[in-house]
Amino acid sequence: MFTRRISQVLFCFLFIPLFSQAQQLGFTLAHGQRKARIPIQIYNNLIIAPVILNGQVPLKFIIDTGVRTAILTDKDLSDFLNLTYTRKYTISGIGGEKLVDAYVTNDVSLDLPGVNSRGHALLVLDQDFLQLKSFLGEDIHGILGYELFSRFIVQIDYQHKELVLMSPHTFKPKRKYQVLPISIQDTKPYLISDVKINDSTVVRLKLLIDSGASHGLFLDPQSDQHIKVPDRHVASIIGRGIAGVMYGKIGRVPSLALGDYHVNNVITNFPDPESYIDSLKISPIVFRNGAIGGEVLSRFKVIFDFSAEKLYLRKNRSFKKKFYYNLSGLTVKAIGKNLNEFEISDVREKSPSFIAGLLPGDQIKKINGLPSTNLDLHQVNGFFNSSPGKRVSIEVVRNGELIKKEFRLEDPI
């Protein structure tokens, strides 16, 4: 996956309003500093920051503008710290079937480098239903959202892998940034943007700015009659999350306007109506047409100012990078204790890997002659999404038999 990813992973993270008096204590910069510089990792266009839970356990959290309350995806960690749970929720998916239980614990601390905190509410999932570790190939333990963005000016430098948290009282906007008005509704940032749907149609749309989604652009055809799925598209899984698997169509739109910037030929997800459920992440009272995700945001240095309802953008070296979608047709997940074993979890119909005869469940052993145990998931996906026309040889084990396949990468849209 990652910047040259082989699957669109749109995490439908949980929206449950949790309130406690202690929660208002929140985050503060350490030692009276004006800013904190935090090294981050970028996986599949998602921002991963180091967090210490209750001063004891070092963890990794996704920084997500689309989430209100912090989420811990591994209950074993909270049990280890003997945290007390005050409430229990049952999370249901599409169709109403039970997916996972979740628990609320209050008055926890979530410290980051140079940032102290106390008095947070934390939602704890009974099991890692999101499978973040498997689909990112890295130990991920939770998600952190509005509580951070509401307290600080948040600068995300995707290129240099740095998160900067600044006090709103001392923040001075720099020149050379595009300044865009946003609105904070129900704890989440929204932007009005012109999207060129085809050669003859430009639509002004309301879009969630979602740093916790790896896709480029997500548009809901049910929200506006002018939003049409392009003639050239593929049908595929476009998201996995607590709500279950989301299916849809994937195509390109000619242009997304962000102030004076125009992001061209953007890979865009269009959800199928019967598959689309968003109530776990977005409150149903907030209307929107879609969302801008990490594959677009990662082409900029981004500054969020929730207090002034402004977004600052400055393009980086990735701005003109071409958008590609799943050139191989494979979705791969990392498995095993060390996340250095790789299994094919999905094969898109009519894709090069499908035609070659690869199947879900195949265990990858070699890619282009290199043992998979010497690779990480980022490198594995790099082979499968390098550039159209690239030849890929792969060895997999299926039912105990070693099988060799070969195919060429192909741009489906």
Whether the per-residue pLDDT at 286 is higher than 90: the answer is no
| Distance, CA of 409 to chain centre | 24
pLDDT of residue 14: 41
Are the C-beta atoms of 348 and 234 separated by less than 8 Å? Answer: yes
pLDDT of residue 129: 73
* Per-range mean pLDDT, top range of 28-42, 123-137, 232-246, 389-403: 389-403
Residue 19 CA to residue 14 CA, distance in Å, equals 15
pLDDT of residue 89: 85
Residue-wise pLDDT tens digits, 306-353: 999 999 999 999 999 999 999 999 999 999 888 989 999 999 999 999
pLDDT of residue 276: 58
Neighbours of 24 (CB within 10 A): 10
What is the radius of gyration, based on Cα positions, of the chain?
21
Whether the per-residue pLDDT at 167 is higher than 70: the answer is yes
Which residue type does 235 have? A
User: With b meaning 16 or more CB within 10 Å and e meaning fewer, what string describes 73-104?
Assistant: bbbebbeeeebeeeeebebbbeeeeebbebbb
Residue-wise pLDDT tens digits, 222-235: 999 999 999 999 99
Query: What confidence category does residue 237 fall into, taking pLDDT thresholds of 50, 70 and 90?
Result: confident
Residue-wise pLDDT tens digits, 348-391: 999 999 999 999 999 999 999 999 999 999 999 999 998 999 99
Whether the per-residue pLDDT at 262 is higher than 90: the answer is yes
pLDDT of residue 108: 95
Residue-wise pLDDT tens digits, 11-25: 333 444 454 443 446
pLDDT of residue 19: 47
Which residue type does 206 have? K
87-96 average pLDDT score: 72
pLDDT of residue 303: 98
All domains of the chain in start order, with CATH: 14-166 (2.40.70.10), 181-315 (2.40.70.10), 330-408 (2.30.42.10)
Whether the per-residue pLDDT at 60 is higher than 70: the answer is yes
Residue-wise pLDDT tens digits, 23-53: 446 899 998 889 999 999 999 999 999 999 9
pLDDT of residue 285: 61
